[in-house]
């Protein structure tokens, strides 16, 4: 059976990122958008990144325009926006689809492992997936759940 470590994806700069390098780390994967009411959550995600990166947390943002086209043209533009406006230092990936036939394989996998209010479909930007060190436990959080509310679960997984 596949785990998150079996996947590869492209960074905002077009470089392949092999998720096997994150084995033994806690992952927080988020579908992001630069022009959304939840966009200020970038500050909270960066705060988690700064607080826990030395203990093994890896935060990864996947820009997506699937919801009201609230993302910039591509991942590099989204990354630039995040760095300028929120001081983001965590990895921003290439812009992807998170729902439908063209959904990125990572999101197909994450959705198959967790069910949200709409079944496996992602409801909106800033849906968050927290993955344990061994890749087996995946928790899903709604867009309304602020990054700060994930701290208890992150602490337990670290």
Neighbours of 77 (CB within 10 A): 16
If pLDDT is split at 50, 70 and 90, which confidence band does 118 have?
low
Residue corresponding to tokens 């309304």? 144
- Please report which residue ranges of 3-138 form alpha helices under DSSP H: 41-52, 75-86, 105-113
82 assigned to active site: no
CB within 8 A of 137, min separation 6: which ones?
131, 157
* Residues forming a β-bridge with 77: none
Contact (Cβ atoms closer than 8 angstroms) between residue 147 and residue 47: yes
* Residues forming a β-bridge with 93: 11
Q: What is the pTM of this model?
A: 0.93
pLDDT at residue 65 is higher than 90: no
The percentage of residues in the chain with a pLDDT greater than 70, rounded to a whole number, is 92
Q: How confident is the model at residue 14, as a pLDDT? A: 92
Mean pLDDT of 68-88: 76
pLDDT per residue over 130-155, tens digit each? 999 999 878 999 999 999 999 999 99
Q: Residue ranges of the domains in the chain?
A: 4-157
Give the residue from 89, 3, 8 showing the smallest Cα distance to 42: 89
Task: Write down the catalytic residue from 36, 43, 47, 137.
Answer: 36
Pick the CATH number of 4-157 from 3.40.190.10, 3.40.30.10, 3.40.50.300, 1.20.200.10: 3.40.30.10
């Amino acid at each position: 059976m596949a785990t998150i470590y079996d996947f590869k994806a492209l960074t905002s700069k077009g470089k392949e990122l092999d998720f096997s390098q994150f084995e033994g780390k806690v992952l927080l994967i988020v579908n992001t958008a630069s022009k959304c009411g939840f966009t200020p959550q970038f500050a909270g995600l960066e705060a988690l990144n700064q607080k826990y990166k030395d203990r093994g947390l890896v935060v990864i943002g996947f820009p997506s325009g699937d919801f009201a086209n609230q993302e910039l043209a591509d991942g590099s533009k989204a990354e630039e926006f995040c760095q300028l406006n929120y001081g983001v230092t965590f990895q921003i990936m290439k812009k992807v689809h998170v729902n439908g036939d063209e959904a990125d394989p990572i999101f197909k996998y994450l959705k198959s492992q967790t069910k949200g209010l709409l079944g496996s479909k992602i409801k909106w930007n800033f849906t968050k997936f927290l993955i344990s060190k061994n890749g087996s436990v995946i928790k899903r959080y709604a867009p309304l759940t602020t990054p700060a509310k994930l701290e208890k679960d992150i602490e337990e997984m670290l």
